[in-house]
Amino acid sequence: MKNTAGYLKVGALSVILLFSISACSKKTSQSTTTGATYATKKSNLGFKPYDDQALPNPPGMVFVQGGRTILGSYEQDLYGSRDNVERTVTVNSFWMDETEVTNKDWREYVHYQYNPQDLPLPKNIEIEDPNSKDNENAADPILPFIPDLQGPTHSKSNPKMMVDIIPNDAVWTSNFSFNDVYAENYYSNPGFNDYPVVGVTWRQVVDYSKWRTDFVNLKQIFEMDFEELPLTFQEEFIVVNETSGDYELGIGGQVIGDNNGDKQLISVEDFDDFQQEVVEFMNEEVNKRQFIERGIYLPQFRLPNEAEWEYAAKATIGTVYLDENEEYGRIYPWDGRSTRNPFGKKRGEHLANFKRGRGDYAGIAGNVNNDASVIPEPVGEREPNDFNLFNMAGNVSEWVFDTYRPLSYGDFDDLNPVRKDGTGDSEKDYGWESSQVRDSVSFNPQLEYRSLVNDRSKVYKGGSWKDVAYWMAPGTRRFLDMDRATSTIGFRCAMISIGSRQLDQSNGIISRVFGRK
């Protein structure tokens, strides 16, 4: 795979540097439009322009610098679908998970659906610990917290049952194969920790993304000094001890747990309820805006839309000359028309985990090209593309946000294109009266023609361990009902990029040149 730094010219770097410098305005203590002095943290009156540098980078993600690109399939249209015709669009900068979300990541999600997260708290606040030495000899010892896994999750706004949030192990079973061992082990066994999670529906993935947003932002809020949080938050959840002056946790201004004079002791159950109250509070639009204005609330984790995913997969930053003409397009997320590595010590090795031919998932045993990956393999095992994203072809296909329509490219805007629903191409034209039922079987008494395309049809991209090379081309696209799952589809999350100051983090090129860390 080519080193993208080899394509960058001094002139291009100069333009980027000038852009970066011009984008950084000087901080002043006075408004340039009214002449009013900005308020400080200690000011009683006045407007406070909060510092945007406080916004952290989203964990596990890499920055993808946006720009002009040609979306669509460069590969021969073997199916004659013509559902992704080439067109020029511009995609905004965004963040994307470096790898596919793994089994370990998903089990973490399931754990925190029934348990509170460990938040940074002042030293005077303790959560009951049944394993402490003091509890061993206590007259009335604290009992371990055992979540009710048979009951609903602890979310107040979106409670689920366990069966609703775990992957569907049945995707591995078949009457004509002996893959049942994966049904028992693939998701649950620690040996598969770093393998991409599969058996998850589009709807489950959307719920995961919402939880991840809440989790990261809750952690971010409690890492702040309490006095820097919005006053409405402080009044609702923070109580100042009149005797010691220490901060204590409360709900509605009322202290939770017990206070023995020195410490506030909170049970795990009460701490869990407290966190859910905070999550509900911070997701109310008026309250959320206050956190966003202070630069302490990350935008939502979400599924990338199809344009973002395809743009990130092609990663043509390594093929662009100074005059913005591309040397060539890419059929795959790497250079060349072959699925094998043409460079270096790994020359000849396959660059993705895919099905090489009928019945051939891994190659012949003992051969240098046998990778033993007859099913998905651990994420990050292959070379990343020029955006430093791993497994953008093969391993597992990935859900994206878009609703599927065969001729979407004709309706898209050319700036950040996306199809959110069936606008302009109603599902009624495909034989559906309504798709507002879980199993996608709509009311159709006349038994008229009905295709598989409706408002519940969601796009997935990228090709999988079970697909031939054709489907690994980023421009190819398929679809599945939002409540269906397979052993070949996983996902990764994306997030909008705020402003342009993160330009120097794009796959490390600018950082290496200018010595930034």
Q: Of 294, 144, 147, 116, give the one whose Cα is nearest residue 215.
A: 116
Bridging pattern class, strands 478-481 and 457-461: antiparallel
Cα separation of 261 and 243, whole Å? 9
Q: Which residue has the tokens 């015709």?
A: 85
High-pLDDT (> 90) share of the chain, %: 53
Q: Categorize the per-residue pLDDT at 79 as very low, low, confident or very high, splitting at 50, 70 and 90.
A: low
pLDDT of residue 23 exceeding 60, the answer is no
pLDDT of residue 323 exceeding 60, the answer is yes
Least confident span in 352-356, 398-402, 413-417, 506-510:
506-510
pLDDT of residue 10 exceeding 60, the answer is no
Q: Categorize the per-residue pLDDT at 22 as very low, low, confident or very high, splitting at 50, 70 and 90.
A: very low
Cα separation of 298 and 210, whole Å? 12
φ, ψ (nearest 5 deg) of residue 208: -60, -45
Q: Categorize the per-residue pLDDT at 73 as very low, low, confident or very high, splitting at 50, 70 and 90.
A: confident
Cα separation of 494 and 308, whole Å? 9
φ, ψ (nearest 5 deg) of residue 67: 165, -170
φ, ψ (nearest 5 deg) of residue 505: -100, 0
Greater confidence (441 vs 174) lies with: 174
DSSP for 23-65, written as a single string: HSPPP-SB-TTT-PBPP-TT-SSS-----GGGPPPPTTEEEE-
Cβ-contact 95, 505 below 8 angstroms: no
Q: Of 516, 503, 454, give the one whose Cα is nearest residue 483.
A: 454
Q: Which residues contact 227 (CB under 8 A, 6 or more apart)?
A: 41, 234
Cβ-contact 489, 460 below 8 angstroms: yes
Least confident span in 163-172, 296-305, 363-372, 440-449:
440-449
Q: What is the pLDDT of residues 111-169, one digit of tens each?
A: 999 999 999 999 999 999 888 877 777 778 888 899 999 999 999 988 999 999 999 99
Please tell me the predicted confidence (pLDDT) of residue 448. 54
Does an H or E element contain 112, and which? helix 103-112
Cα separation of 177 and 191, whole Å? 22
Please tell me the predicted confidence (pLDDT) of residue 509. 38
pLDDT of residue 445 exceeding 60, the answer is no
Q: Categorize the per-residue pLDDT at 499 as very low, low, confident or very high, splitting at 50, 70 and 90.
A: low
Q: What is the pLDDT of residues 372-386, one digit of tens each?
A: 788 999 999 999 999
High-pLDDT (> 70) share of the chain, %: 83
In the predicted model, what is the mean pLDDT of the chain? Answer: 84
Domain boundaries, the chain: 1-114+161-201+299-334+376-517, 117-148+225-295
Cβ-contact 320, 65 below 8 angstroms: no
Encoded tokens for 3: 């080193």
pLDDT of residue 345 exceeding 90, the answer is no
Which among 23-32, 72-81, 170-179, 406-415 has the top mean pLDDT?
A: 170-179
- Within a 13 Å sphere around the CA of 387, how many CA atoms are in the beta-carbon half? 30
Cα separation of 429 and 406, whole Å? 12
Domain 1-114+161-201+299-334+376-517 has CATH 3.50.50.60: no
pLDDT of residue 285 exceeding 80, the answer is yes
Please tell me the predicted confidence (pLDDT) of residue 96. 97
3-state secondary structure of 208: helix
Mean pLDDT of 79-93: 84
Please tell me the predicted confidence (pLDDT) of residue 294. 84
Encoded tokens for 387: 């955006």
pTM to 2 decimal places: 0.87
Cα separation of 115 and 127, whole Å? 13
